[in-house]
Structure 1
């Protein structure tokens, strides 16, 4: 697709290349221009959010993430990335309840994504649900680690992930 009345096309691709090359300020300027021209384009909104996050402008990233997720046209991978970005950004800004809600929805939509689970665990900690966060992290660790020291205790880690307060032989 070419830039013009049909969509952002090559201009969006150029802005993404700028961001990927570390030229965040240039990418931001180009993406903000594209947002003005294509306010309903979910991909433009997502890339604009991403570049704001890359620049440490988290508060400015939020509305772009929200618009991207409210729109249509994101691939599953980009939708996952936008959910992670928004949830993580909420957490960074101290909006912990919003982070938990966003990341919980993301984990429900993408149950095999361990990065989402890890960010959710951090947000759970921030809202005083350390037990739930620890359970989630232990489950991810047990299920993904190839470290022989972890693998050797996988069964125990999985057991305690389900019941951190279990005491064997008590009574």
Structure 2
């Protein structure tokens, strides 16, 4: 027996698939369709809708960020690591202050063996966003080492 939320998501998915077929150039409909597929664990089916919405115009800034993160994360889940890195780098280039995009980029870089860059990104993010008092105390050192983890005293 499925949960009521799953039933609603399935119903929403069916409705959005109909809308996407009727309005193939509507970026917002494509984005919503991608999201519902992701929420249902249908990542492979989400990809073409993410790609469609990003190729079009009309997404709000917030939805564009979400689509870049969603597509990059979905590529990563599907094991398409190089595409994940490419998509998430594009997202970070467009939205350099978005910590979520940078975090997901670090994870994808880890998957491609780029451990140094992944760690650098996460350390920079930690140094600039953490409210932890002990991190704040060492913020300058963390930021310095993030630039060159191989630096020794």
TM range (shorter): over 0.9
Does 2:25 match 1:40? yes
SS of aligned partner of 2:97: coil
Q: In the alignment, which residue of structure 2 is the partner of 1:128?
A: 113
Q: Does 1:94 align with 2:79?
A: yes
Unaligned runs of 5+ in 1: 1-20
Q: Please give the TM-score of this superposition, normalised by the length of structure 2.
A: 0.95
CA distance in structure 1 between the partners assigned to 2:90 and 2:57 by the alignment: 17
Normalized per residue, the structure richer in helix is 2
Cα deviation code 1:11-50 (max 9, x no counterpart): xxxxxxxxxx762111101100101111110000000000
Which has more radius of gyration? 1
Describe the SS at the equivalent of 2:149. Answer: coil
Stretches (4+) displaced over 2 A? none
Matches of 1:136 and 1:105 in 2, distance apart? 15
TM-score, reference length from structure 1:
0.85
Distance in 1 separating the partners of 2:53 and 2:90: 15
The residue number in structure 2 matching 1:108 is 93
TM-superposed deviation, 1:95: 0.2
What's the CA shift string for 1:50-102, capped at 9, x where partnerless? Answer: 00000000000000000000011101111110000000000000000000000
**How many residues end up aligned between the 2 structures?**
148
Tell me: higher relative CO, structure 1 or 2? Use CA pairs within 8 A at least 6 residues apart: 2
SS at match of 2:151: coil
What are structure 2's unaligned runs of at least 5 residues? none
Q: How does 1:20-169 map to 2 (within 5 A)?
A: 23-168=8-153
Rounded to whole Å, the distance in 2 between the matches of 1:26 and 1:161 is 47
